[in-house]
Structure 1
Amino acid sequence: MKKTIRVGITSIGSGVGQSVINSCRLSELPLYVVGLGHNPMAFGQYDCDDYDTLPSIYSDEYIDQLLYLCKKHHIEILIPGLDDELYNISKNIEKFKSNGITPIVSSTKMIELCRDKVKMSRVLNHFTNSFVISHDKESLVEAYNNNEINFPLIAKPRSGFASRGLLVIRSVDDFDIINNDHVVQELAIPHKEDINYSSFVSNLEKGLVSQVSEVSVQIVVSKDGRIIGKCATLNKLNNGVPIEIIPFENASVWEDLGKIIPYFLKIGLRGPINIQGRMTEHGPKWFEMNARFTGITGLRAMMGFNEVDAMVRDAYDINSTDTEIELNNKRIGMRQVTDRTVTFGRNADLDNLVTKTGFYPWKNSKKSVLVTGATGFLGNHLVRKLIDTENVETVICLLRNENKAKLMYGNHDKVKMVSDSDIEQGLLNFGSIDVLIHAALGSVYEEEAIAKELAYTSWILNMAKKFHIPSIINISSQLVYGASNPAVWNEQDPVSPKSPYALANWASELMVSSIHQDNVQTSTTSLRLSSLIGPDKGMGMDNLPYPLSKETIKVEEIKGSSQCPDFLVVRDAADAIISLLNMDSSKWKPIYNVRSGVPLNRDEESFQIN
């Protein structure tokens, strides 16, 4: 794979441009992002690696200047941010390709179909009757005279965007407010069982069109015309901008769109396309199409559906497989001031609202758990218990020794192994993870090894933070308390790490707690374990308590030490972690001491969580 891939993004001050930038930042590919726009105060430019100024997209010199800047910055992938750029770039696509630049755009024929709603209605209703009938003023009058019109209708400016300038046409008396710049469409009213039906009808009587219960479908097509991802969400909008999205599945949606997708592919659909509509009494009704990324592309990426990453991979044939990217339907998206995802159980009112939509697998779905240190002493026992845990669907083992892991877990269908090489290639989809259990710090005591493990900890926790992984369990040590050893440590006791290893554990705890401080929707906890023992190759015979006795554990004086160590059976430590998984994570405490409870004087194996 190339050292870096240089991606140019236009109109970075727009919601779409910012969303594409966010998606690039969520990709594990080595992307160097160059922002292109004409507003020096564009929010998105300050999230880019570099920035340059373009003239207005309506300028005669726009294409030549865009091409010049692409060559200047050695841009390899070009992603337009606005509708009006798509057609112009598509029309001049060979100029870019001949200079080694790949624009992510469809054919001009496909873009023309999206831009002309009257044409879209006439052409696509040959395949299915689910596209709302659209008229210009002349054809509207003709249809009315032929008794083909059912009121109310909606009129919108041809050049409008974000649903601005909408007019409700209740009768023929309102025809006078329609001009030649309007396109007039039949209105897609939510079905009567929709939770927003009553408010929609009530507002319609006042001449208002509520932007609720809109179904948004995003489809991503490879350069060779293969669908590499598709998803649907139920959206609420504010001035045409989605602010709340709920994963949505309905067989009739895909059955209906399946009738027209082959035609789209035939006329040159490549890259993304967004199709908008509503579920009505007569099934899906579609009223808008845009062959581009959208303002919630970045939010979808946080939910595992990174279509920008998928298109860059497709352009460079990086890990191209038949596997489609998928939306994590256990996440709900909110886009107010910034992007955020929320998991089930964080807010009862939200849970209620989503449940009423009739599609809520997130409530009942099993967890996807990412485990670091999966081949270590504790990790080995933990993974085996996770495999047997009912509410765990997938155990993703993030490891550096794949052969060792295969010997431990074989080819268990519940276990997915991810290697360093996989990570470098961006094959770990953090958006699909529900719980991170970080147990990689392990029993390393050499300073150089500790430094490497701490850097690894920083990386994995940063990824968890970026993707809003809902729950994080960090495995720490009671060595953070220091050298002295009272009978039982208390979570409120002051920490005083005396060794590099203890200090590294304390640092990992601070990193984890800061994630929760930045985003209270992420539940975090650190488990401070006492020394682990148990029948396992990971338990060294040089470690206590084996020097005391290789057959039994007895209370004896440890010469040269004033400490009276507490030992915890490793499988009980794993049980403690499982018990946390079965709890409501929002109720977790920041710190738990996990120990046997009676230092070096224990006939039975047990653990405590205080």
Structure 2
Amino acid sequence: MAQGVARVIRECRPDWRIVGADMGNHHGGSHFVDRLLVAPSANDPGYSEWLGAHLEREGVTYCIPINEAEIEKVVALPSPLRVGTHMVSAGSKAVSVAADKVKTARFLASLGIPAPWVAERAEDVPPDAFPCICKPRAGAGSRAVFICTDAEDARFLQARHPGSMFQELLLPDDAEVTVAVFRDRLGATAMLQLQRRLVSGATAWAEVIDDPSVTEQCLRIAEALDLRGAINVQLRRTADGPRVFEINARFSSTALMRHRLGFSDVIWALDDLSGSPVTTSHPRPGQRIARIQDAVILQTAIL
């Protein structure tokens, strides 16, 4: 995710200096930035102080938190950590709703948008609702997601994974759609619908589609969240219509794929925050895109 965002910025703003931060450096992140900092966890009590000091030291103009823990911490700060730094987020309401999948389901219900049922506890899952999904209530992307076959399975998984919840299993499996939704300061909204195939929890292949019922639901979501910036909406196209099962208030792992298709929501968000005019584009339905692998030598070890 972070590497994709960095690559988009590097291609579109080659003269910019990019500083990255992560809890470790045993990965390829340093290849995509000018400097890679080793940071504490966003849940560390000293994270805000660390971030503020480095924003000042590096003279940062745009700060883009990538994962949910970072985003929630940055949005909750009472004031900017550094004057002159734009904190890039989808807004406090979007972050709050997306941070809790049970809260997301209640938000969708309040809009009259059909969504899969959710249950906070194993004992609340109706006996006739199996198989269903057990997943973390917050964050985690596609990790720690399991299919429960019966009540005993549900109780075991919830005991093994505290903080999990239960959700209706939506079918068919091959009808998952990720929708990038961008909304600027004037309320103009653009979106890209990608019907996708997942490999190890990430989009490996996708096709651009244009489903009017998906568009209608995502517009209502963006307006209700008072969105300014980018989110991605996860849904399945079922026999009964689209069913949104998750909202992520961040740039997704398809940021680079979207950019290749001409949907550059990362750059649009930066331009919108600076007050520059934003001209969005709408990729043509039917285009297909795939994620590829690559490898780079970072540094030769001295033996």
TM-score scaled by length of structure 2: 0.88
Cα distance in 1 for partners of 2:35, 2:154 equals 50
1:119 to 103, 120, 142: 103
Q: Does residue 40 of structure 1 match 2:2?
A: no
2:288 to 323, 332, 339: 332
Q: Does residue 259 of structure 1 match 2:236?
A: no
Post-superposition shift, 1:111?
Answer: 1.3
Q: Does residue 74 of structure 1 match 2:95?
A: no
Post-superposition shift, 1:213?
Answer: 3.0
Q: Does residue 181 of structure 1 match 2:142?
A: no
Runs of 4+ in 1 over 6 A off after TM superposition: none
Give CA deviations for 1:18-65 in whole Å, capped at 9, x if unaligned.
010111122157432112223233312222123333222222111111
- In structure 2, the partner of 1:216 is 178
Post-superposition shift, 1:288?
Answer: 1.3
- Structure 1 unaligned blocks of 5 or more: 1-15, 191-199, 201-211, 340-610
Cα distance in 2 for partners of 1:254, 1:93 equals 34
Higher relative contact order (CA 8 A, sep 6+): 2
2:41 to 44, 52, 56: 56
Cα distance in 2 for partners of 1:71, 1:327 equals 38
Q: Does residue 94 of structure 1 match 2:56?
A: no
Provide the secondary structure at the position in 2 that maps to 1:243: strand
Structure 1 counterpart of 2:179, which letter? V
- In structure 2, the partner of 1:141 is 123
Q: Kindly tell me: are residues 166 and 330 of structure 1, through their superposed partners in 2, closer, same or farther at Cα, counting changes over 3 Å?
A: closer
Q: Kindly tell me: are residues 286 and 299 of structure 1, through their superposed partners in 2, closer, same or farther at Cα, counting changes over 3 Å?
A: same
Cα distance in 1 for partners of 2:230, 2:4 equals 14
Q: Does residue 104 of structure 1 match 2:88?
A: yes
Post-superposition shift, 1:275?
Answer: 0.6
Give CA deviations for 1:111-135 in whole Å, capped at 9, x if unaligned.
1211211121122112134221111
Give CA deviations for 1:478-516 in whole Å, capped at 9, x if unaligned.
xxxxxxxxxxxxxxxxxxxxxxxxxxxxxxxxxxxxxxx
- In structure 1, the partner of 2:132 is 153
Identity of matched residues, %: 23
Post-superposition shift, 1:99?
Answer: 1.5
Give CA deviations for 1:417-457 in whole Å, capped at 9, x if unaligned.
xxxxxxxxxxxxxxxxxxxxxxxxxxxxxxxxxxxxxxxxx
- In structure 2, the partner of 1:401 is none
Cα distance in 2 for partners of 1:102, 1:255 equals 30
1:128 to 104, 108, 112: 112
Q: Kindly tell me: are residues 150 and 290 of structure 1, through their superposed partners in 2, closer, same or farther at Cα, counting changes over 3 Å?
A: same
Kindly tell me the number of residue pairs found equivalent between the two proteins: 292
Provide the secondary structure at the position in 1 that maps to 2:70: helix
Mapping of 1:307-456 within 5 angstroms? 307-318=265-276, 320-321=277-278, 323-329=279-285, 331-338=287-294
Structure 1 counterpart of 2:106, which letter? R
1:277 to 235, 256, 278: 235
Question: Quick check: 2:93–2:225 contact (8 Å CA) kept in 1?
Answer: no
Structure 2 counterpart of 1:257, which letter? C
Question: Quick check: 2:91–2:229 contact (8 Å CA) kept in 1?
Answer: no
Give CA deviations for 1:138-182 in whole Å, capped at 9, x if unaligned.
xx53463xx8x5332111123562322222223334343242522
Post-superposition shift, 1:315?
Answer: 1.8
Cα distance in 1 for partners of 2:88, 2:78 equals 10
Q: Kindly tell me: are residues 312 and 270 of structure 1, through their superposed partners in 2, closer, same or farther at Cα, counting changes over 3 Å?
A: same
Question: Quick check: 1:305–1:328 contact (8 Å CA) kept in 2?
Answer: no
Q: Kindly tell me: are residues 310 and 112 of structure 1, through their superposed partners in 2, closer, same or farther at Cα, counting changes over 3 Å?
A: same
Provide the secondary structure at the position in 2 that maps to 1:64: helix
Cα distance in 2 for partners of 1:338, 1:249 equals 31
Q: Kindly tell me: are residues 272 and 112 of structure 1, through their superposed partners in 2, closer, same or farther at Cα, counting changes over 3 Å?
A: same
Structure 1 counterpart of 2:142, which letter? S
Provide the secondary structure at the position in 1 that maps to 2:220: coil
Provide the secondary structure at the position in 2 that maps to 1:124: helix
Question: Quick check: 2:183–2:222 contact (8 Å CA) kept in 1?
Answer: no
Cα distance in 1 for partners of 2:186, 2:137 equals 29
Q: Does residue 226 of structure 1 match 2:208?
A: no
- In structure 2, the partner of 1:171 is 150
Cα distance in 2 for partners of 1:93, 1:35 equals 24
Q: Kindly tell me: are residues 38 and 160 of structure 1, through their superposed partners in 2, closer, same or farther at Cα, counting changes over 3 Å?
A: closer
Give CA deviations for 1:548-580 in whole Å, capped at 9, x if unaligned.
xxxxxxxxxxxxxxxxxxxxxxxxxxxxxxxxx
- Structure 2 unaligned blocks of 5 or more: 296-303
Q: Kindly tell me: are residues 67 and 326 of structure 1, through their superposed partners in 2, closer, same or farther at Cα, counting changes over 3 Å?
A: farther
- In structure 2, the partner of 1:250 is 211
Question: Quick check: 2:134–2:154 contact (8 Å CA) kept in 1?
Answer: no
Question: Quick check: 2:178–2:195 contact (8 Å CA) kept in 1?
Answer: yes
Structure ID, larger Rg: 1
Cα distance in 2 for partners of 1:104, 1:64 equals 18
Cα distance in 2 for partners of 1:20, 1:175 equals 37
Structure 1 counterpart of 2:221, which letter? I
CA RMSD of aligned residues (A): 2.3
Give CA deviations for 1:381-421 in whole Å, capped at 9, x if unaligned.
xxxxxxxxxxxxxxxxxxxxxxxxxxxxxxxxxxxxxxxxx
Structure 2 counterpart of 1:289, which letter? I
Post-superposition shift, 1:228?
Answer: 4.5
Question: Quick check: 1:135–1:184 contact (8 Å CA) kept in 2?
Answer: yes
Post-superposition shift, 1:306?
Answer: 1.1
Structure 2 counterpart of 1:241, which letter? A
